[in-house]
Structure 1
Amino acid sequence: MIDATGQSPHWRAVFAAFVLIIFCISAFEIISEFAAGETLGSMADDVFRFVLSLIVLTVFSFEYRAQHRALGNLQNQLDKARGRLAQLDPRSQYLASQYRAVMQKQFDAWRLTGSEQEVVIMLLKGLSFREIAELRETREKTVRQQASSVYRKAGVASRNELAAWFFEDMLDPPPTDSP
């Protein structure tokens, strides 16, 4: 998962650890200096670092929980969509599996990687690059690069052209009977 600034979990963890260390050191210094008889006024720099790190940790915690809720909501929406597909009548399920097989043949012809195939499916479902990155637990930049690679391999210029490629034949009007 990525955060609002597009940082990877690794950098978020490093940042959180750094702020937590500052918080603990400041707390330890305040306690030890206070026990040595110093006043809060003489420990202003330690108190400032303590309060600032507490604020940063609080904001970080709220944002982290908000991102987990958003990811959970996306996962629930995906699960509901899968559930609705499973409830379709057998003929619809058969047609869906046949269409997926046609898509897979095209993926193979374009020589898409597994990751690129996942991105295509999610793009066709209408997810944004950011949503795809969150679901795949990668950076948005990575998803954009994979989408660009797909567009190049497919010979299309955009998400819209990619979707049109897969749905154009299905949306042609049915043939009319000539009198």
Structure 2
Amino acid sequence: MRDKFIAIVLLVIMILNFFDVFTDISLGVPSWHILSESLIVIVSGVGALFLIKDINARTSDISRLKQELLISDDKFRNISDEMITARHEYSAVIHNQFELWSLTSSEQEIAMLLLKGLSFKEISAVRNTKEKTVRQQASVIYSKANVDGRHEFAAWFLEDFM
């Protein structure tokens, strides 16, 4: 908006000085004065043209970027749908493995929270149990999964993706 205002001001200056130059010529004003005002006409006209050209270039860039953003949003929605589907499928694989390990429903819930990265304290708060109970259940989970701790437990599920 500011650039458009400046371009308009430059064009007004150019037009007013252009008519002033013609008036000065008819009045017989010294040529150095006519030359200086002609220079003002040329400089303000060139400045306005460059500014208008820049405004048009930026406007077309903005239009192009908006179009690219719409395309990108569509691709992101598709990727998000794919990610949601993949997450559900992966979640099913995880739960199947929990079943193979014979984890109880309580252990499965804790195992899933462990995979999501919650601490024992956070899990105990979510489940409204004591932290010691969560630690004991986590030990049982690790034992059934035949792993040494939470890092190896998480790595067991991520190993094939690396």
TM-score with structure 1 length normalisation?
0.46
Deviation at 1:152, TM superposition (A): 0.5
Q: Which protein has greater RCO, CA pairs closer than 8 Å, 6+ apart?
A: 1
Residue 115 (structure 1) aligned with residue 106 (structure 2):
yes
* CA–CA separation in structure 1 for the residues paired with 2:116 and 2:90: 14
State the partner residue of 1:142. 133
Partner SS for 1:127: coil
Gaps of 5+ in 1: 1-87, 172-179
State the partner residue of 1:170. 161
Deviation at 1:125, TM superposition (A): 1.3
State the partner residue of 1:130. 121
| Deviation by residue 1:37-67 (Cα, 9 ceiling, x = unmatched) | xxxxxxxxxxxxxxxxxxxxxxxxxxxxxxx
Residue 151 (structure 1) aligned with residue 135 (structure 2):
no
RMSD value, Cα = 1.5
* CA–CA separation in structure 2 for the residues paired with 1:91 and 1:128: 29
| Larger helix fraction of residues | 2
Deviation at 1:90, TM superposition (A): 1.3
Counterpart AA for 2:146: G
Partner SS for 1:112: coil
The count of aligned residue pairs is 85
Deviation at 1:131, TM superposition (A): 0.8
Gaps of 5+ in 2: 1-78
Deviation at 1:126, TM superposition (A): 1.2
Structure whose alpha-carbon radius of gyration is higher:
2
Identity of aligned residues (%): 52
Counterpart AA for 1:93: I
Residue 104 (structure 1) aligned with residue 91 (structure 2):
no
* CA–CA separation in structure 2 for the residues paired with 1:156 and 1:139: 23
